[in-house]
Amino acid sequence: MEFFDKLGETIVSAGKDVGQKARDVSEIAKLRIDIRAKEEYVQEQYAAIGAAYYEKHKNDEVIEADEAEQFYLIGEALAEIARMKAEVLKIKGASECPRCGARMPEAATFCSECGAKLNDIFEE
């Protein structure tokens, strides 16, 4: 029914009284919100494709020249994010299991979730 309501408004809008103009402004505002939401949705899909592409090709021996810089910058940024997350955990007095990602006190010797030995994972 919304389609016919809008069709009605369009036909009536030839006259454009004050009330109609207010409704037009309101309709445009709503449409702009919907447009923004759809644009954000498309951006999210682009990002998902990009992330999948990065994961698929990050270990390729040869990376396309026009993508090499972005691959490098993404890798650097991800490493920096990991470093900063570890810093936050350290400040909170916590650590993260390198095997399963569970959080626990920094002093813990074993992961309470998966049992991995912490702080010395190379002994596994």
Q: Which residues bind Zn ion (CB under 5 A)?
A: 97, 99-100, 102, 111, 113-114, 116
Token duo for residue 2: 């919304």
In the complex with Zn ion, which residue's Cβ is closer, 23 or 117? 117
Quote the Cα angle for 105-89-50, to 5°: 130
Least CB distance to Zn ion at residue 102 (A):
5
In the complex with Zn ion, which residue's Cβ is closer, 8 or 115? 115
- Three-state secondary-structure class, residue 110: strand
Least CB distance to Zn ion at residue 75 (A):
25
Cβ atoms of residues 95 and 108 within 8 Å: yes
- List phi, psi (to 5°) of 96: -120, 135
In the complex with Zn ion, which residue's Cβ is closer, 89 or 116? 116
In the complex with Zn ion, which residue's Cβ is closer, 55 or 124? 124
Token duo for residue 28: 């445009």
Least CB distance to Zn ion at residue 90 (A):
18
Other residues' Cβ atoms within 10 Å of the Cβ of residue 95: 19
Least CB distance to Zn ion at residue 107 (A):
15
State the number of CA atoms in the 13 A half-sphere of 13 facing the CB. Answer: 12
